[in-house]
Structure 1
Amino acid sequence: MASREAVRRAIQNVRPILSADREEARKRVLNLYKAWYRQIPYIVMDYDIPKSVEQCREKLREEFLKQRNVTDIRVIDMLVIKGQMELQESVAIWKQKGHIMRYWQESCEPKPTDFLSKFLTGHN
């Protein structure tokens, strides 16, 4: 009983951004995924990127699966808002080809191992 009261107080203190509960947040995420999925063929055609529609859809799935362990509803809502903004910018062609291709860029570069490479990059 005491835990329910604590949850009620916490909900009163922290206002939700968009979603009131997990199910609503889940629906928003699925709607965003479907919107991206439907727009991918047009994005590939408009930006003339050297990737197929299937490769782009696989990348979309990968990007969504990166965030699947997020449980805070406010964080989920913020990610959905950012995803909607990205989609709007992509569809309206406010981005350039390089911005779209950045999704395939490797996120971590291997550290140099030999002396010359370490020297040139500034590592000790």
Structure 2
Amino acid sequence: MSGFVTAQRLVKPVLSTEPAEARRRVISLYKAWYRQIPVIVKHFDIPKSESQCKDKLREMFATHQDVKDLRVIDMLVIKGQMELKETVNVWKQKGHLMTYWHESREPKPKDFLSKFFNGSD
């Protein structure tokens, strides 16, 4: 039975057709965010310095550095562009930007007494 044909699924690219193009898009997005940080800090009056915001930007991009699938990279770039547009056009509020630091979140209680005192269980 040598007549078997392996089925290959062709996936349509979202934006990029090769890794170099996806890399250019990511670097372009990073630079766009980097250029807007001084304006964002001044306009939103957030209690973070420009260097702290730049560190957070670097951290956010580093969380996805192991992604190799071009479609996933393109979707992340699209989402990053949407976030940037919402931030620059002031469609977000100060609280939305501060959620990137997660300082207001408390860890969920794990043991019974903590859950009981918290009123969650």
Tell whether the structures are fold-level matches, with TM greater than 0.5.
yes
Which runs of 5 or more structure 1 residues have no equivalent in the other structure?
1-5
Aligned length: 113
- TM-score, normalised by the number of residues in structure 2: 0.85
Quote the residue 1:122 is aligned against. Answer: 120
User: What is the SS of the residue equivalent to 1:36?
Assistant: helix
Distance, in Å, in 2 between the alignment partners of 1:40 and 1:114 is 43
User: What is the SS of the residue equivalent to 2:115?
Assistant: helix
Q: Deviation of residue 109 (structure 1)?
A: 1.9
1:33 counterpart letter in structure 2: Y
Computed over aligned residues only, the root mean square deviation of the Cα atoms, in angstroms, reads 1.8
2:12 counterpart letter in structure 1: R
User: What is the SS of the residue equivalent to 2:109?
Assistant: coil
CA 1:105 to 1:22, structure 2 compared with 1: closer, same or farther past 3 Å? same
Q: For residues 10-66 of structure 1, what are the alpha-carbon distances to aligned partners after superposition, in whole Å with 9 as ceiling and x for unaligned?
A: 4xx211000001110011000000000000000000100000000000000000000
Quote the residue 1:68 is aligned against. Answer: 65
Q: For residues 62-116 of structure 1, what are the alpha-carbon distances to aligned partners after superposition, in whole Å with 9 as ceiling and x for unaligned?
A: 000001111100000000000000000100111000000010005782534461x
CA 1:122 to 1:93, structure 2 compared with 1: closer, same or farther past 3 Å? same
Quote the residue 1:28 is aligned against. Answer: 25
1:54 counterpart letter in structure 2: S
Return the match for 1:92 from 82, 89, 98. 89
Distance, in Å, in 1 between the alignment partners of 2:62 and 2:41 is 21
- TM-score, normalised by the number of residues in structure 1: 0.83
1:101 paired to 2:98: yes
2:36 counterpart letter in structure 1: Q
Identity of aligned residues (%): 57
Distance, in Å, in 2 between the alignment partners of 1:39 and 1:33 is 10
1:14 paired to 2:16: no
Which runs of 5 or more structure 2 residues have no equivalent in the other structure?
1-5
